[in-house]
Structure 1
Amino acid sequence: MAKHIRYMLRFMCGRFILSDASWAEYHDTLRIIRGASGHVSYNIKPTQTVSLARIVDGRLRADEARWWFVPDWFDVGTRDWKATTFNARIETAASKPVFRRAWKRGRCILPASGYYEWTGDRSARRPWFVGLTQNAPVFFAGLCEARSDSALTCTILTREATPELGHLHPRMPVILTEDELLPWLSGETGDADGRDLGLGWSGRFVTRPVRPFGRDDDGPELIEQDGFDL
């Protein structure tokens, strides 16, 4: 398991958080997701159940999904799918056989309060928290697919990192602004290579080093500043 987690953290975005305070803001300010449970956690991991919103029969609907995309055409159980698909590159997702159907019919958004990135040598990996300067809620752009066994799985789309985040990782989640949410869900945007999506928060990110934490650790203390020497 430890080897699997170390391998997983080489990818972006591998962990994110959803705090209770921000969840209330999502309902009050954006009014996008209604009735979702929220899954408040400071250490959300791939394969866990996450909240999302998608358009179904012309209506916006809150749903829950397993965060590790498995295409509908894979006719074995989701746990037998071995490809690393909790992230997908927005530049190529439309053309990849794994995501092609979901790109057209399974767009979704996932609420988050921020995410983690790791830097340093493998023997001394250092976690960083990435959030927003004004504590505003954010939504990741994603893709989801309802399988024939009724299981819903999803992936978070990533893009080239903005200059202010490039020192942590060359890529970042596609974080949509409020004006981009419904156009993304309805398929009005992103039909090229997606390079224009997820830039609306540029210049408004905050990054800080946090203390190393374990696979099953959780709680607001995980995002407290770590005063190690840079």
Structure 2
Amino acid sequence: MLISCVDVLPSIALTRSRYNVAPGTWITVVRHPSDDAPLVMDQVWWGYRPHWAKEKAPEPINATVEKVATSNYFKGAFAHHRCLVPADGWYEWLPVDGRKQSHLLCREDSEPIWLAGIWSERPDGKPGCAMLTEPARGVAKEIHPRMPLALDEESLESWLDPHLTDRETIRQVVHHLPADMLTHWPVSTRVNKPTHDDADLIEPIAS
């Protein structure tokens, strides 16, 4: 999964727009670096490996909502180190006649999307993250069986609260972005190469 992340926070200007953000790179997130630290927008590595993991431990880019709160690998971060990834949308690929057509999924109103993530200090001392995924909803099901967990605006503060650690309480106060707010369209297969990073990538094309 690649995401398109452009300037999204009115109070914080990003240095440049990015239209093709690949796993295994530095991405912008909003997080509390520690329980008592103020909220910051900074860069973390898109690849999750907690500091206590062995050298050959996996480095997933995603964590499923079905297991993130119970898996030994993720549950500590889910309880204490949640983050948000601001994005304009994300890319998925639809099989069509033996090929895969790139699609951009985004909000119909063009507002930013807040994707739920978790982070942990990596063995090298730098932060790394994974994005949460869930079964696809609404029009996203037309493209791929799963999608990132996008949150509604009322849930953002609770998701980021490091003192909110109980799984059931989090489930009660954190809610999806309504599926009927999403749309999608086909885009250029140039997006398949992370070295391509320009505004033309998000323009609709004839499918």
TM > 0.5 between the two?
yes
Could you say which residue in structure 2 is the equivalent of 1:18?
5
Q: Structure 1 residue 190: deviation in Å?
A: 7.7
Distance 1:122 1:92, change over 3 A: farther
Unaligned runs of 5+ in 2: none
2:196 pairs with one of 207, 217, 226: 217
Distance 1:191 1:43, change over 3 A: same
2:77 pairs with one of 92, 97, 102: 102
Amino acid of the structure 1 residue aligned with 2:142: H
- Mapped contact 2:62–2:133 kept (Cα < 8 A): yes
Q: Report the RMSD for the aligned CA atoms in angstroms.
A: 2.4
Q: State how 1:36-115 maps to structure 2 within 5 Å.
A: 37=14, 40-55=17-32, 56-58=34-36, 59-76=38-55, 81=57, 83=58, 85-115=60-90
Cα separation, 2, equivalents of 1:225 and 1:68:
29
Which string of whole-angstrom CA distances, capped at 9 and with x for unpartnered residues, describes residues 161-188 of structure 1? Answer: 1132111111111111221011011154
SS of residue in 2 equivalent to 1:27: coil
Which string of whole-angstrom CA distances, capped at 9 and with x for unpartnered residues, describes residues 63-102 of structure 1? Answer: 21110111221243xxx55x35101101211111211211
- TM-score w.r.t. the length of structure 1 is 0.78
Cα separation, 1, equivalents of 2:172 and 2:140:
16
- Mapped contact 2:138–2:180 kept (Cα < 8 A): no
Amino acid of the structure 2 residue aligned with 1:27: P
Given the alignment of the two structures, is residue 200 of structure 1 paired with residue 170 of structure 2, yes or no?
Answer: no
2:149 pairs with one of 174, 179, 182: 174
Amino acid of the structure 1 residue aligned with 2:167: D
Distance 1:185 1:70, change over 3 A: same
Cα separation, 2, equivalents of 1:39 and 1:99:
31
Unaligned runs of 5+ in 1: 1-13, 29-33
Q: Structure 1 residue 131: deviation in Å?
A: 0.8
- TM-score w.r.t. the length of structure 2 is 0.86
Identity of aligned residues (%): 25
Distance 1:178 1:186, change over 3 A: same
Amino acid of the structure 1 residue aligned with 2:10: H
Amino acid of the structure 1 residue aligned with 2:112: P
